[in-house]
Amino acid sequence: MVKQNSEASSIALINNVSSIFTFPLEKRIVVPVSCSCARGIFQHNASYFIQYLETVFTVANNTYQGLTTCQAILDQNPFLSPKYLDIGSYFKVPLRCACPSSNQMAKGVISLLVYTVTWGDTVQSIANSFGVDEASLLEANKLSQESTLYPFTPLLVPLTNENRLTNGKSANQGNSTNVGNFSCLYPNGSVQVGEKDIYCRAQNKKFPAKLVALLGVGIGLGLLCFFVFAYKLYQFLKKRRSRIQKARLFVQNGGLMLQQRLSSYGSSEKTKLFTAEELQRATDNYNKSRFLGQGGFGTVYKGMLPDGTIVAVKRSKTIDRREIEQFINEVVILSQINHRNIVKFLGCCLESEFPLLVYEFISNGTLSQHIHVQDQESSLPWEDRFRIAGEVAGAVAYMHSAASVPIFHRDIKSSNILLDEKYSAKVSDFGTSRLISYDKTHITTIVQGTFGYLDPEYFYTSQFTEKSDVYSFGVVLIELLSGEKPISSTRAEDEKNLVAHFISLAEENSLEKILDPRVAREASAEVVHAVAKLAMNCVRSNAKNRPSMREVAMELDGMIKSQHCLEIIDQENLVGDEEDDSTSETDSKLGEDDIAFSKETGTVSI
């Protein structure tokens, strides 16, 4: 067992090999280490690097073959988890060792070798293997002849000058022979071993030609088989490395956490896991031409799946614990949602270097892009704005009271509302959203969100409620009416905060000063005042006085239906007026014809 923290030259010297020698598998070797006393216990602290999925148990019993214990590792590294070790990190492994006592040194013992007992070992076999006396072996380990040896038990083997050689063959040039279980090197032709000399003589024999030919063919076939075997082994190891890497990335990207959270909500079957290769092909290896935009979580690319579905692939820029938790949170949230006005989640990928989310592709950008434009004529018409407000309210109301588990969005804003080809709203970005149990009314968290949309009460108390989402939606309503951004440094000092400025003008009955020109031109005064009143109710400073999202959605729905009915009545009245005009003209023509006919017959009748 080769332990870390030993130099190659030291290992080569004590094993009587060169520093470039490759040890065969299952070969017993000796590794010299420094032994020190810590807290009354002799031990050597080795540093271990975690390369793949392991546990403390496998490190202690497989990697170090019983030279340490799980408890010793955990005592030395209190921060470690017994079940999951972070790939790419280091930790200390305390290995059993000992230094010769004064009594042992008086008997010629120069070092104590730690040997791990394996199946079939006895005191006699171990003593014979290392050429030591049974009595000294028993004394060093405080054992008796009747003691039972258990596998994976480390024993101390006292070594003297006479028995410090070890098993193996030397890689140095020269002659070698085996004496018992030990290798001896004699580059000068002979070496003194015990009481007799062993000599090595060269044999001058010539190989027959046929034998040389057979050897050549055999070597050729052997090399061919070797290369075929090596190629197959390379392919096998490559696939194995790929599987190990994917497993490591799956854990690194929060796969275990995702499975646990999805199973707790009973939605693990709803989430599709894409492979990294699938999404690379879909986005043309994340080509710049497929770039759609940049978000807080990462970069978004346009892609096409094998079945022709156009998708948006969100790819993280960096990896840290907080972003992984946001990623997992967004997957869990979206797996609970099924609503026509919420962006559809198609799946994710956890086996790539950075985690990936896959959504339906929304073609018309964000609501913010369509209402904050320089050219007022190209901005959204009032009819679309009114309808989008109702759709967003319905989607948020669904999350609060109709989803399988209530959801607080926590970042409602115009840039998180996407518009499809028909300008229908799609609420997106659930990275900071939270699932809420039915018995809770709020969550206490570090304040997160976008300045200008943040509920002041949440900002001061750190308690987020469903009314905090209502406040953010109220700001979006004011944006739709005014076409202005929530916070702007280009406006006057008392107008920088859109909500405060809007409320001030509304109280002065001067809303026309802040209305978007297109809204002022297309919307009726009654509807504008009704929506403005609803928006101000949503942004009340006291959350208890705000309506719920369900009430907001119902009120907007009622307004939209009322306006639709008025439009139908106006159209019917217009058609009726046109029909009356047409009937009058027809009657007039008929009257003239009747008069003319009566004159011809000699009578006049009207």
Which domains are seen in the chain, by residue range?
A: 8-160 (3.10.350.10), 243-361 (3.30.200.20), 365-569 (1.10.510.10)
**Residue length, the chain?**
606
Return left, alpha or beta for 269; rule: phi > 0 is left, psi -120 to 50 is alpha, else beta: alpha
pLDDT(587) > 90: no
Give me the pLDDT at residue 2, please.
Answer: 38
* Average pLDDT across the chain, whole number: 79
| Mean pLDDT of the 70-92 span | 86
Cα–Cα separations (whole angstroms), residue 456 to 51, 250, 482, 515: 48, 39, 21, 24
- pLDDT value at position 590? 40
- Pull the structure tokens for residue 286: 């994340």
Compute the distance between CA of residue 5 and CA of residue 34 in angstroms, rounded to an integer.
9
Tell me what pLDDT residue 423 has: 94
Question: DSSP character for 120?
Answer: T
pLDDT in tens, 535-558: 999 999 999 999 999 999 999 999
What pLDDT is stored for residue 175 in this prediction? 38
Q: Where does the pLDDT of residue 573 fall: very low under 50, low under 70, confident under 90, or very high at 90 and above?
A: low
Quote the Cα angle for 230-232-234, to 5°: 65
pLDDT for the residue 419? 95
Give the pLDDT band of residue 484 (cuts 50, 70, 90).
very high
Q: Which of 75, 86, 307, 411 is catalytic?
A: 411
Position 388 scores a pLDDT of: 96
The whole-model pTM stands at 0.55
439 catalytic per annotation: no
Per-residue pLDDT tens digits for 68-79: 888 888 988 888
588: pLDDT strictly greater than 80 = no
pLDDT one-digit tens code per residue, 234-246: 999 888 887 888 7
Q: From CA 56, how far away is CA 80, in angstroms rounded?
A: 8
Q: What is the mean pLDDT of residues 202-215?
A: 68
Q: How confident is the model at residue 5 (pLDDT cuts 50, 70, 90)?
A: low
Q: Which residues pair with 356 in a beta bridge?
A: 315, 349
pLDDT digits (tens, 9 = 90+) for 139-184: 888 888 888 888 888 888 888 866 554 443 333 333 333 333 333 3
Which tens digits make up the pLDDT trace of 329-383? 778 888 878 899 999 988 888 888 778 889 999 989 899 999 988 776 678 999 9
State residue 322's pLDDT score. 64
pLDDT band per the 50, 70, 90 thresholds, residue 188 = very low
What phi and psi, each to the nearest 5 degrees, are found at residue 303? -145, 170
Q: Which of 291-300, 344-353, 388-397 has the lowest mean pLDDT?
A: 291-300
Per-residue pLDDT at 264: 67
Q: Sorting pLDDT into bands at 50, 70 and 90, what band is 272?
A: confident
**Whether the predicted pLDDT of 477 surpasses 90:** yes
How far is residue 447's CA from residue 425's CA, in Å, rounded to a whole number? Answer: 27
DSSP result, 335-355:
HT---TTBPPEEEEE-SSSS-
- Residue 397 in this model has a pLDDT that exceeds 90: yes
> Residue 187's pLDDT is what?
37
Please give the pLDDT value at position 367: 95
% pLDDT > 90, the chain:
30
Asked if 349 and 305 touch (Cβ cutoff 8 Å), the reply is no
Mean pLDDT, range 10-33, rounded to an integer? 80
Whole-number pLDDT of residue 39: 62
Assign 366 to helix, strand or coil.
strand
Which range is most confident: 197-201, 412-416, 488-492? Answer: 412-416
Q: In which band, very low, low, confident or very high, does the pLDDT at 207 lie, cut at 50, 70 and 90? A: low
Least confident of 327-336, 465-474, 500-509, 523-532: 327-336
Per-residue 3-state assignment (H helix, E strand, C coil) for 176-241: EEEECCEEEECCCCEEEECCEEEECCCCCCCCCHHHHHHHHHHHHHHHHHHHHHHHHHHHHHHHHH
pLDDT at residue 567 tops 90: no
- 314 is an annotated ligand-binding site residue: yes
Higher pLDDT, 482 or 102: 482
* Interval 215-267: pLDDT, tens: 889 999 999 999 999 999 999 988 888 788 878 877 777 777 777 777 766 65
Predicted local distance difference test score (pLDDT) of residue 427: 94
414: number of Cβ within 10 Å: 22
Question: Residue 317: what pLDDT?
Answer: 67
User: What SS3 state is found at 463?
Assistant: strand
Q: Which of 92-96, 227-231, 570-574 has the lowest mean pLDDT?
A: 570-574
SS (H, E, C) 477-488: HHHHHHCCCCEC
**Residue 102: its pLDDT value, please?**
79
Which range is least confidently modeled, 15-29, 528-542, 584-598? 584-598
Query: CA nearest 282: which of 238, 256, 312, 317?
Result: 312
pLDDT at position 334 is 81
